[in-house]
Amino acid sequence: MNKLPHVRQIIETAPQSGAWNMAVDQILLQSAFESGIATLRWYTWEPTASLGYFQSESELQTDKRLVNLPHVRRLSGGGTLVHDHELTYSLSLPPSQSLITRPVELYHIVHQCIAAELSRRGANAMLRGVTVKNRQEPVLCFAREDEHDLVLDGHKILGSAQRRRRGAILQHGGLLLAASSVTPELLGLQDLRPRIDLDQLAESLGNAILAEIAETWETGTLTTEELDRVRSMIAGF
């Protein structure tokens, strides 16, 4: 695999609104196809429900627990996500990168790097493997099964999805750290491994992924232009 020459890593420690988080991901994808900037971003959320790109808002009504949550639409497909006690990553790659032509491999690389770091911390998660799709999928993404999911003791703790635009790709996914009071049946890392150490988890996971896909990387922030675009996008929501 040809590694990326350079990747910017952004680690946001304060929880943000759904509108902010999705606007930033969209602008990072834009920076990838316009300026050739590759970015790995880590972020957390204020409690939010996010709809998959192709979902109807009416689907929120099928689970009354979701009705009163702020909601936003993701760039990627899939089911509804309840973002609460979660660490989310997004990886934006420009069109010139060889990984763009192998999207399935990108899932495997990222998920296996995350699995290896979690194993080092005492949680031996693994890829789910081949599944049989249901005709009627559940509304909640973490109640669905996909072969690329990371599972721990049979519980899905990480799922990812992708979106392409003008040759660039955005892959993002959520790692459940603990169950939300909204969806207590969806267990996270701390529910399944109460003694797990989550200190500096984003940095450790990021460095594991970047060591696999990049020649060099550095921790950075959004540029002034990117911030202006994010604010303009949120104002238009």
Model confidence pLDDT, tens digit, residues 19-66: 999 999 999 999 999 999 999 999 999 999 999 888 888 887 788 898
Residue 14, SS3 per DSSP: coil
- Burial of residue 138, with CB atoms counted within 10 A of its CB: 0-12 exposed, 13-18 middle, 19 or more buried: middle
Q: Which two tokens stand for residue 172?
A: 């993002």
User: What pLDDT is attached to residue 116?
Assistant: 97
User: What pLDDT is attached to residue 25?
Assistant: 98
Taking only the tens place, the pLDDT of each residue in 114-172 is 999 999 999 999 998 766 566 677 889 888 888 889 999 999 999 999 999 888 999 99
User: What pLDDT is attached to residue 138?
Assistant: 83
How much is the average pLDDT of 70-85? 92
Residue pair 199/177 in contact (Cβ under 8 Å)? The answer is no
Q: pTM surpassing 0.75? A: yes
| Helical pair 201-213 and 103-120, crossing angle rounded to 10 deg | 140
Question: 154 — alpha (psi -120 to 50), left (phi > 0) or beta?
Answer: left
User: What pLDDT is attached to residue 63?
Assistant: 86
Does pLDDT of 180 surpass 90?
yes
Query: What element of type H or E holds 164?
Result: strand 155-165
Percent of the chain with pLDDT over 90: 73
Does pLDDT of 110 surpass 90?
yes
CA distance 16 to 90: 15
Q: Map out the domains of the chain as residue ranges.
A: 4-235
Is there a catalytic annotation at residue 141? yes
The owner of tokens 């984003």 is: 202
CA distance 95 to 165: 9
Q: Which of 81, 141, 150, 230 is catalytic?
A: 141
Pairwise pLDDT comparison (179 vs 56), residue with the higher score: 179
Count of C-beta atoms within a 10 Å radius of residue 236: 7
CA-closest candidate to residue 78, choices 17, 138, 168, 151: 138
Q: Which two tokens stand for residue 46?
A: 């204020």
Order of strands, sheet of 71-73, starting from the edge strand that comes earlier in the sequence: 71-73, 48-51, 81-83
CATH architecture of 4-235: 2-Layer Sandwich (3.30)
